Amino acid sequence: MAQHNELGKKGEDAAVRYLRQKGYEILERNWVYEKYEIDIIAQDDEFIIFVEVKTRSSGQWGNPEEAVSKGKIKRIVEAADFYLNVNDIERPARFDVVAVIWNGQKFEIEHIDDAFLAPVN
């Protein structure tokens, strides 16, 4: 596995631990619809939450969350819509980003609730 892929997996593992500590129930990891992937699907008492995890080895080239492009948002929303429909889920959905930076000794995590809204076509 390439070093950046390994870091990404470790970052996702750290994000899952963090979300569980916050009381989230993890429903899916790396859920795929066609060619789109949702890193984490979770729920809390109110929402079903679609989480995009961005992991970096430093903040030198910008914050990890800045890498969530408009195209990525569109793909996440399309996959989330399919997930909600195929599983007949009627709960309100939310889209979060978990930004993870490996500082050489530990992961620094920033959880951005409601990071973006589904775009209107």
**Mind giving me the DSSP string for 25-70?**
EEEEEEEEETTEEEEEEEE-SS-EEEEEEEEES-STT--GGGG--H
Section 53-75 average pLDDT? 78
Domains plus CATH for the chain?
Answer: 3-112 (3.40.1350.10)
Whole-prediction pTM: 0.90
pLDDT digits (tens, 9 = 90+) for 2-58: 555 788 889 999 999 999 999 999 999 999 999 899 999 999 999 999 999 998 876
Identify the pLDDT of residue 59. Answer: 61
